[in-house]
Structure 1
Amino acid sequence: MTTRKTAPRFEPFADDASVRNLGGLSFENGRDRIGLHGSLDLTRDKAGLALARELKRTAAAIVAALESADLPEAVAEPEAAPQPVKNPFA
């Protein structure tokens, strides 16, 4: 019997901390926005197909979350830019 590995559940807009990584592409969750960073190579093989399916599931979850919400016309931008902090390990 074979078991399929699935990625941990990603709930779009549920928190300000979780991240979904697909290859070199990161989906950084936030309560008012999801940031996408990096790149993803979809190869023409079984591994590429698996990544493409996971990308599709992640995008579909984001779209479903947006469609089920009462959305404003636009999200307000943060008032102040984040401030750098001293590296505690330096």
Structure 2
Amino acid sequence: MSHTPKIPFRPFADEVSVQTFGDFSFENGTTRIALHGSVDVTRDRAGLERARALRQVLDAIVRQLEAEDLPQAVAETVQAPTIVKNPFA
């Protein structure tokens, strides 16, 4: 069972792509990549393949970060709250 994506995961390339491994996912973003869920790495050949696939994505993320002139921290953007009409009133 192969977990290698047909189209490679390109870290920080967009706000929509997701790479999944069972119940675990890497959600792409232009300023951050969110990791969600859980994955079991079993002590067998399937676990080894899963670990290698995870490493492939993590290595791509590290390579992208190392190739850039990074700021000390990502600037957080906070949107002001907006008032909306109550649809139930």
Task: Tell me whether the two structures share a fold, i.e. TM-score over 0.5.
Answer: yes
Q: Which of the pair has more CA radius of gyration?
A: 2
The one-letter code of the counterpart of 2:15 is D
Q: Which moved more, 1:74-83 or 1:52-61?
A: 74-83
Q: Which residue of 1 aligns with 2:34?
A: 35
Report the TM-score, using the length of structure 1 for normalisation: 0.80
The count of corresponding residues between Structure 1 and Structure 2 is: 80
Q: In the TM superposition, what is the alpha-carbon distance from 1:5 to its structure 2 partner?
A: 6.9
Higher relative contact order (CA 8 A, sep 6+): 2
Question: RMSD over aligned Cα, in angstroms?
Answer: 2.1
- What is the CA–CA distance in structure 2 between the aligned matches of 1:82 and 1:13, rounded to whole Å? 27
1:51 aligns with 2:50: yes
Deviation by residue 1:44-90 (Cα, 9 ceiling, x = unmatched): 1111111000011110000000000111111011212899xxxxxxx
Contact preservation (8 Å) 2:17, 2:28: yes
SS in 2 for 1:53: helix
Q: Which residue of 2 aligns with 1:80?
A: 79
What is the aligned-residue identity percentage? 55
Q: Which residue of 2 aligns with 1:12?
A: 11
Report the TM-score, using the length of structure 2 for normalisation: 0.81
**Residue 82 and residue 23 in structure 1: after superposition, are their counterparts in 2 closer, same or farther (change >3 A)?**
farther
- Which stretches in structure 2 are left out of the alignment for 5+ residues? 83-89
- What is the CA–CA distance in structure 1 between the aligned matches of 2:25 and 2:53, rounded to whole Å? 12
